Amino acid sequence: MTNFIDRYKNQLDIFIKNALKEDIGIADHTSLSCIDTKIISSAKLVVKESGYLSGVSLSKLIFENYDRRLKVEILIEDGNKIKKGDIAFKVHGPVVSILATERLVLNTIQKMSGITSFTKDLNKMIKHTHCKILDTRKTTPNFRYAEKFAVMIGGGTNHRMGLFDAILIKDNHIDYCGGMNNTLKKTEKYLNKLDKKLDVVVECRNQKEIDLAINFDFVNRILLDNYNPKELVKALSLIRGRKKTEASGRIKKKNIVEYAETGVDFVSIGELTNNIKSIDMSLKAIAI
């Protein structure tokens, strides 16, 4: 958990700053109208339904970014199972600061816990295979880092953060570029000019494209999009382990086991961060 926060600290700080600005604006008029700014007290995060906790470490960062005087006492760590009535953490400090950050913390931890819970459920279903679960770029605008953090906490793997940290050549790139061979030759020239290494994933729609992609050493993974399990098994027999493989498209909870059992190395699932049900929680004042 710490590694993710350390790696993406700048991006998370930007997210927190912008989210607080969106919610608070010039001032929290409600709290300022009735709460003495000098009052120091505590609140507790109360879990209201079962699942897996996610976002405690990010919540701590939100509190601290807003007001260094806010101190978080973590009682349940990210990734642990939770049930109704559990207290995930307590926060101590100026009441006006607790109230100002309350909604952002709840929005974050509830959504992240929903994502982590779903990811863990899927991982349990395919644990008998070697297949790993990948997330996608189907994320909520400006909330991507939190959502991908939640996938990681749930045991999933981050596919890529965005367009900047990996190359994913899909059907549109290939068609606009005039075919697979032309696309990969241009990509190779581009990579040779870069001062850093990027993973390269290439979507292949048929045997011809598979045969071409395999011949380029810089290609790390073959993406097989919208293949049904039977078609996927046939494609994997053509690849014969020469490249890592990924299946995507039409993969959901109801059919993930069937896909994972084909022998594919990865399955990418947009549903991990799309249309996820949040885990209900409340931040409640602790009586003085």
Domain residue ranges of the chain, discontinuous segments joined by +: 2-123+277-286, 125-272
Residue 161, SS3 per DSSP: coil
Q: How far apart are the first and last CA of the chain?
A: 33
Band of the pLDDT at 158, cuts 50, 70, 90? very high
Residue 132, SS3 per DSSP: strand
pLDDT of residue 287: 74
Question: In degrees rounded to 5, what are phi and psi of residue 158?
Answer: -75, 120
Query: Is 2-123+277-286 CATH 3.90.1170.20?
Result: yes
Query: Is 125-272 CATH 1.10.10.10?
Result: no
Is pLDDT above 70 for 224?
Answer: yes
What would the two tokens of residue 54 be?
């996610």
| Contact assessment for residue 199 and residue 166, using Cβ atoms and an 8 Å cutoff | yes
pLDDT in tens, 225-237: 999 999 999 999 9
CA neighbor of 209 nearest in space, from 234, 191, 184: 184
Nearest-angstrom CA–CA distance, 256 and 254 = 6
pLDDT of residue 275: 86
The alpha carbon dihedral of 232, 236, 239, 242 has a sign of: positive
Nearest-angstrom CA–CA distance, 140 and 112 = 12
Establish whether domains 2-123+277-286 and 125-272 are of one fold.
no
Nearest-angstrom CA–CA distance, 49 and 47 = 6
pLDDT of residue 288: 63
Is pLDDT above 80 for 2?
Answer: no
| Contact assessment for residue 82 and residue 88, using Cβ atoms and an 8 Å cutoff | yes
